[in-house]
Structure 1
Amino acid sequence: MVRTYELDMVDYRILNILVQDAKLPYSEVARQIQVSAGTVHGRMNRLEELGIVRRATLSLDLAKLGYGTQVYIGITLLSNAFIAVVTEKLREIIEVTDAYFATGPYHIFTCLRCRNNEHLRAILRERIELIEGVVRTETLVLLDELFSRPVALKAD
């Protein structure tokens, strides 16, 4: 059974700080919002139990690690019946970082990080386009990231 929990200003302040820097110690978060470290720890445990906080991750500069080509690929399927199978096959391709069931002209919209255009072409031709149920793909190459930021949370 899912517990309901009403977030308050302390929760929102904790989340806004940690979404900027998830490595920040709870004691520093507590100092910034003037509560105890135990309060921050308890609130974070509760937010994790509720599924509001799903994981803490590192933000990597993938281009500096050799994955300088980022693309979005719209995938059109033969029918909705192929969504689960295609999703599982996409999950096996380590360069696919995200996959979404979407409205519009595509059934699935994905994000990939590749070393270069040749690497991208190989993934498309040898992996994605060969998945049963995939009718066609459309690739949008991202030239440069203008900005990326987390959502600033606020209480209603």
Structure 2
Amino acid sequence: MELDQTDFQILSMLQDDGKCSYSKIARNIGVSEGTVRGRINKMLKNEVFEFIIHTNPYKIGLHVQAIIGLETRVGYHDAIACQLQPHRSVRFIGAFSGKHDLIIQAFFRDNEELVSFVDQTLSGIEGIISVDVNVELKQYKDTFSYVD
């Protein structure tokens, strides 16, 4: 799907306020409400974006964020990622080039829960060679906004 300026204006307004009404968007960008509705439905159908609730992990008791780099045996990426996907603490899993084959982002209630995840969960997964745990000390930016 090719996006035009109107689509980007709609996306920008929704990023600022996901509850913004179609009529307000239409007024602000100078198109009809039907145009906004149609454009949003088309973008949703084409998976340009999705409506989600972005929960602040710290407000719900998840006070430890870890970025964990995994070095894996060749050919084990998919199997390891599939085993990590069901864990509620794991928010992101990606395969990368460079020092780490897989990188995961995970949130835990406390350091003990993180240690348990590393010592029990990760140590029990075949194909993981090494684990590099990095705990967030201070957050400077956390956004899912990609449109100006």
TM-score (norm 2): 0.93
Distance 2:130 2:106 in 1: 16
Residue 125 of structure 2 is matched in structure 1 by 131
Residue 76 of structure 2 is matched in structure 1 by 82
Residue 57 of structure 2 is matched in structure 1 by 62
- For the residue of structure 2 that corresponds to 1:146, the secondary structure is coil
**Where do 4+ consecutive residues of structure 1 move more than 6 Å?**
none
Residue 16 of structure 2 is matched in structure 1 by 20
Point out where structure 2 has 5 or more consecutive residues left out of the alignment.
none
Distance 2:47 2:17 in 1: 19
Residue 145 of structure 1 is matched in structure 2 by 139
TM-score (norm 1): 0.88
RMSD value over aligned CA atoms?
1.3
**CA offsets per residue over residues 94-148 of structure 1, 9 Å max, x none?**
1000011101111111100100110100111111221111111101111121122
Residue 96 of structure 1 is matched in structure 2 by 90
- For the residue of structure 2 that corresponds to 1:127, the secondary structure is helix
Point out where structure 1 has 5 or more consecutive residues left out of the alignment.
none
Give the fraction of aligned pairs with identical amino acids, expressed as a percent. Answer: 27
Amino acid at match of 2:56: D
Match of 1:30 among 11, 26, 32: 26
Q: How many residues align?
A: 147
